[in-house]
Amino acid sequence: MKIIFILLFYSFFNFNFVKANLAYITNEKDNTVSVIDIKKKKVIKTVKVGQRPRGIIMSNDGKLVLICASDDDRVEVRDAETLKLKYHLPSGPDPELFILSPENDILYIANEDDAMVTVVDMNDKMIIDDIPVGVEPEGMGLTNNGKVLVNTSETTNMAHFINTDTLEITENVLVDARPRVAMFTPDNKEVWVSAEIGGTVKVISPSNHEVTHTIGFEIPGVNEESIQPVGVRHTDDGKYTFVALGPANRIAVIDQKTKKVIKYLLVGQRVWQLAFTPDQKTLLSTNGVSNDVSIINVDKLKVEKSVKVGRFPWGVVISPN
C-alpha cells in the first residue's frame, strides 16, 4: 500500500515538471498566436492577440513572449504559460521584427514604415532612442555580447552596423535587393544577410565590413524569380545554416564553413521564418501561403511533419526550456 502510494506520487511529480518545448507562431492575417507542442507535433492552443502580429521572441528565462502587433503600433508582452497580456511596450509605428539584448534589458525594434530602429528600455518600458536607418527596416542581428546590432533595410538594400553603446551607425554595407534577415554566426565572425528579391545570401565580415561570400541558389524546375531567401538559422556546432526560400517552398541546407548548398528540403508554401529547439535537433518553419508549420529533423535533414496553424503564419519562436 505504501509502495504504491510513493510510486504514484513520484510519477505525478515527474509529469508536472517535464516541460515539453513549445513553439509560438504568429498568424499575420488571423491576429492570433498558435502554440505547438513540438513533441506531440500538435497545436495545443490558439490565442487572440493584437492586430497583424509578425515578429515574435521570448525572454531568456522563457517567461515572457514578446509580439510585434504591427497594426497596433506596439509590442505586446505576454505571459508564456497563459499567453495573457501583461503589458504593452511602446514601439514606434509598424513594428515588424525585433531583438532583445543578451541581458534582456534593451529591446531593439525595426519600424518598417518609419525607417527607424527604436530602442526600448525593458525595465522603464520607455523608448530611449531611435536610430534613423534605411527605408523599410526589417532584419535584426545581434552579436553574442550585444555590442553590434545589424539592421537591414528592404528598400535601401543595406545592412546597417550599429554600435549599441553609442546607438549610432558605424558602417553601411550594400547587399542585394530587399534584405530581410541578418544573422550572426555562433562565433560572431560572420553575419549572413538574406536578400529576398536579389535571391542571394551575402556573408559579411563584421570586422572590416566586407562581403566575403555571395551564396546563390539553383533548384531544378523552380524558376529563379521564386527563389526568395528570408529566414536564416545557424547551428551552434558550425555545421549547417538553414535558409528559407519563400515561394520556392524549400529550405536550403548550407555547409556553414564552405558556404555550399548541401540539400533543399521541400516544405510548405512561401516559407519565411525559422526557429530551432534549444537542443537544435528540430527546426520549425512558417509557411505563409499553405498556412502550416513544417517540423524538420536536423540530424536526418528530413521534414517530419507539417502542422496546420492560422492564416499566414509569419513568425516563430520556441521556448528555451
Partner 1 sequence: MRAKFFLIISFCIIFSISSIVETRELSIQQLEERKKADLERKKAREKRGKKNFQKKISITTDVVFISKEREVPPVLSNLDPILEDEGFYGVKLAIEDNLTTGRFLGHDYKAEFHRVLLDEDIGIEFKKLMKKGKKFFVVDFNHNELLSLMKIPGIEEVLIFNTRAKSDSLRNEECRKNFFHIAPSYSILSDALTQYLVKKKWKKWFLVTGPKKNDRLYADALKKSAKKFNIKIKDQKTWDFTSDLRRTAGKEVPIFTKTSNYDVLVVADEAGEFGEYLAYRTWDPRPVVGTQGLKPNSWHRTHEQWGATQMQNRFRRESGRWMTEVDYHSWTAVRAIGESITRTNSNNVRDVQEYMLGDKFGLGAYKGVKVSFRSWNGQLRQPVLLAAPRSMVSVSPQDGYIHPVSELDTLGKDRPESSCKF
- Residues found near partner 1 in the complex (CB under 8 A): 52, 70-71, 73, 92-94, 112-116, 129-130, 132, 134-136, 153-158, 160, 167-169, 172, 174, 176-178, 196-198, 223-226
Nearer to partner 1, 120 or 169 (CB): 169
Query: In this structure, are residues 58 and 107 in contact, taking their beta carbons and an 8 Å threshold?
Result: no
Q: Residue 200, SS3? A: strand
For residues 59 and 172, which CB has a smaller minimum distance to partner 1 in the complex?
172
Q: Is the Cβ of residue 130 or residue 255 nearer to partner 1 in the bound state? A: 130
Of 160 and 250, the one with the shorter C-beta distance to partner 1 is 160
Q: How far is the CB of 316 from partner 1 (least distance, A)?
A: 20
Put the strands of the sheet holding 42-48 in their side by side order: 42-48, 32-37, 22-27, 313-318
Tell me whether strands 210-216 and 95-100 are parallel, antiparallel or unpaired. unpaired
Cell of 140: 535584426
Tell me the CA distances in angstroms from 261 to 264, 286, 318, one per residue in order.
Answer: 8, 21, 26
Q: How far is the CB of 224 from partner 1 (least distance, A)?
A: 7
Q: Pairing relation of β-strands 85-90 and 95-100?
A: unpaired
* Of residues 118 and 277, the one with the C-beta less far from partner 1: 118
- Of the two residues 30 and 196, which places its CB atom closer to partner 1 in the complex? 196
Using CA atoms, how far apart are residues 118 and 122, in angstroms rounded to an integer? Answer: 12
Instruction: Please report how close the Cβ of residue 45 comes to partner 1 at its closest, in angstroms.
Output: 26
Beta bridge pairs of residue 286: 293
Contacts of residue 223, defined as CB under 8 A and 6 or more positions apart, other chains included, come to: none
DSSP lists the bridge partners of residue 127 as: 120
- CB of 112 vs partner 1, minimal distance in Å: 7
Question: What minimum distance in Å lies between the beta carbon of 158 and partner 1?
Answer: 6
> In this structure, what DSSP letter does residue 246 have?
B
- Side-chain half-sphere CA neighbours of 64 within 13 A: 15
Min separation Cβ 147 and partner 1, Å: 18
Question: CB within 8 A of 31, min separation 6: which ones?
Answer: 48, 49, 50, 51, 52, 53
Residue closer to partner 1 by CB (options 28, 292) is: 28
List C-alpha distances in Å: 33 to 224, 289, 294.
33, 16, 16
CB 178 → partner 1: shortest distance, Å?
Answer: 4
